[in-house]
Structure 1
Amino acid sequence: MSGKMKAVIKHHRGVGAKLLMVDIPEIKEDEVLVKVKATSICGTDVHIYTWDEWSQSRVNPPYVFGHEFSGEVVESGYKVTNIQKGDQVSAETHIVCGKCPQCLTGQSHICKNTKIIGVDTNGCFAEYIALPAVNLWRNPTEMPYEVASIQEPMGNAVHTVLAGEVAGKSVAIIGCGPIGLMAVGVAKAAGASQVIALDINQYRLGLAQKMGATSIVNTKDQDPIKTVAKITDENGVDVVCEMSGHPAAINQGFKIVTNGGRVAILSLPVKPVEIDVTNDIVFKGVTVQGITGRKMFETWQQVSRLLKSGQVDVSPIITHHFPLEDFEKGFDLMLQGKCGKVVLYP
């Protein structure tokens, strides 16, 4: 397919982005072209948009950014056999090498040579995107495009929560951005006895309640360590899911976890974080897990089934809808923290 398309371009090494007309991407023999029906804004996109330290060291403008989407296959390369024209799809955003020790032992989600769509390659804030066919996930035809577009970040939440045992345990979700909110719903669906949501944003704590949090803690007004101790009868929580990336919050997570508990860290602090390893990890016998991406494609199957069964309802999280042309409104809401998930429609 030839022609032009509208796309949101990270146009320079600075703050902001521009909507421009660019060439529709050409596909390779093992790729497909997808017409994007819905695309959602991620925290990573906000990092790139605001041009923080991480993005300055990682991305190379100009290029199309964005990586969460759903759409319809409109063209495929001659070597593609797993996907057909007309399929409704989303995509695993980690492009892996298939050759490193991790890929060869079933751990491709931590491939040493990972490239991320919309970070290291052109992304989906556009009318069309070209992708390796092996990265596509076929969606049920009845799944709304806006719901299908947030499966990738929901996979992060599922991977974080379900990386260890959850049923019957108390779980603290630190940071109630969209992925943290999804984690609340996943923990509840997985049988957690208590789900405690912690944030400084009262709007998002309200969304956490809608997602099933049994307790909310506004850490701007309440001492999180004392409050969680009271909620858990002075025992602390069994599982901490760290989604905030804030050094103080990360340290609080290690203070509130019980002896022998688990701390799963998905967040990406922009600078090194100082932790009391002796007292908060070693002497407490705590398991610390770094979480990256989604297990390919085990996590995708879990996400799809949780959504299809209705065990996790993400509708409270999808709070705003804009045409692609109004992308700046979406980013403004994300920066203000006055939204859940923002979906854009090319």
Structure 2
Amino acid sequence: MKAGVIYATGDIRYADFPDPSCGADDIIVKVAACGICGSDSPRILSGWKYPLPGVPGHEFSGTVVEIGKNVKNFKAEDKVAVQPFIPCCSCDNCRTGYVSMCDGAQMIGADMPGGYAEYCRVPATNAVVLGDVNITEAALLEPCAVSLYGVLGIEPVLGDTVAILGCGTIGQLALKWFRIAGVRRIIAVDISPTKLAEARALGADECVNGLEQDTVEAILELTHGKGVDIAMETAGSKITQEQCLLVAKKRGKVGFLGIARSDILLREKSFESIFRHELTLRGFWNSYSAPFPGPAWMKSIEAFQDGTIDFKPFISHKFPLSKVTDVFEMIQGRKEEYNKILFVMDEEGGKA
């Protein structure tokens, strides 16, 4: 089959790769679309630590084309969403329901070949039948579940004011979920006018451009000096990761969804805010809980199926897989601004 194959850090090419073999408890999925996760580009371009050659990609959807002999709940041509996280199901965290904290998990698209390919082997326990949906857009179910996992975990209350620091795909999806959860006011923060315009279109009440304003001062002014009930960090920037501590109100909550890319040295005022204001800090990793794959996944699927969340506004680019090298050169060179990029297997690519 054809795949986006990584041969070394920074070396990813459209090439032949062995077809997947279906085990007794597996299904083979014909990939319809696979998204580029915010974690994919730094791993592929700066520090790949998984088997080589490999096939990245963990945000994908497709149709079932082969079924293992022990698998009962799927049939050929079923449209499925894939959960790429494979828990061990035997460690203490798995047994107590904290599946995202599994001590022995493996990941499709890292430890084993993933969705930058025509076909992918998936344990049958890691797929959910979707029914009659747009199977290309279904590739966004994984980031949608990641966002909802954080929103569920931070426990918003009806009428809350929330600041979302970072308006990429995860931040925008979190914005949608916070609105669905009944928060009263959402303040969106980013350094991109395009991202802020997208956040406004998705329902943000106020927008703060961190390049043009002092983010902390702007949010405190908007909240009459009190701060927000919830500060949710989704950018993975050491700047916003610190700012969250300064914009949460006394006894407020801070959620961290963005991945750290560098060391963070907190100023005295920022660190003191944690204990002087008795802040609650929560980190959120992946999107899984019991019963696997968990409420974040199942609620995301339901919201996609019934149209509560429309994924179209989040997709900025679609490319054929044959453009995989060009796409990562575009990302590395910051040649274009983008939101969610999809590799779509049966369509011509370009801006969505």
Structure 2: state its 5+ residue gaps: 346-352
**Corresponding position of 2:5:** 9
Q: How does 1:69-218 map to 2 (within 5 A)?
A: 69-141=60-132, 143-166=133-156, 167-218=158-209
Residue 293 of structure 1 corresponds to 286
Alpha-carbon spacing, 1:286–1:314, altered in 2? closer, same or farther (3 Å): same
Q: Which runs of structure 2 are paired with 1:309-320 in the superposition (5 Å)?
A: 309-320=306-317
Following TM superposition, by how much is the alpha carbon of 1:313 offset from its aligned partner in structure 2, in angstroms? 2.5
CA distance in structure 2 between the aligned counterparts of 1:153 and 1:240, rounded to whole angstroms: 19
Task: Provide the C-alpha distance between the structure 1 equivalents of 2:74 and 2:205, rounded to a whole number of angstroms.
Answer: 42
1:334: how far off? 4.4
Normalising by the residue count of structure 2, what TM-score does the alignment of the two structures yield? 0.91
TM-aligned CA distance change 1:197 to 1:133, over 3 Å: same
Q: 2:272 aligns with which of 279, 282, 289?
A: 279
Deviations 1:23-66 (A, max 9, x none): 21101111110000111111111112312xxx34x323210111
Matches within 5 A, 1:322-333: 322-332=319-329
Contact 2:14 2:323 in 1 (8 A): no
Seen in structure 2, the aligned counterparts of structure 1 residues 297 and 82 have a Cα distance that, compared at 3 Å, is farther
- Range moving further from structure 2, 309-318 or 25-34: 309-318
1:233 to 213, 221, 224: 224
Secondary structure (helix, strand or coil) at the match of 2:182 reads coil
Kindly indicate whether the alpha-carbon contact (under 8 Å) linking 1:10 and 1:18 is maintained by their aligned counterparts in 2: yes
- The residue number in structure 1 matching 2:18 is 23
Query: Does structure 1 conserve the Cα–Cα contact (< 8 Å) formed by 2:87 and 2:106?
Result: yes
TM-score by length of 1: 0.92
Match of 2:30 among 31, 35, 38: 35
Change (3 A) 1:231 1:146: farther
Q: RMSD of the alignment, in Å?
A: 1.6
Equivalent residue, structure 2, for 1:345: 344
Conserved 8 A contact 1:151-1:303:
yes
CA 1:77–1:267 in 2, change beyond 3 Å: closer, same or farther?
same
Moved more, 37-46 or 321-330: 321-330
Shift of 1:215: 1.2
How many angstroms apart in 2 are the aligned matches of 1:256 and 1:16? Answer: 41
Q: Which runs of 5 or more structure 1 residues have no equivalent in the other structure?
A: none
2:307 maps to a residue whose letter is G
Q: Work out whether residues 319 and 342 of structure 2, in 8 Å CA contact, stay in contact via their aligned partners in 1.
A: yes
Note if contact 1:185-1:313 (Cα within 8 Å) is conserved in structure 2.
no
Q: Distance in 2 between matches of 1:233 and 1:312?
A: 32
Percent identity for Structure 1 against Structure 2: 30
Amino acid at match of 1:165: E
Q: Tell me how far 1:262 sits from its aligned partner.
A: 1.1
1:156-211 CA-to-partner distances (Å, cap 9, x unmatched) read 11111221332211111111111111111111121111111111122111111121
> Helix, strand or coil for the counterpart of 1:89?
strand
Amino acid aligned to 2:275: V
Pairwise CA distance, 1:99: 0.2
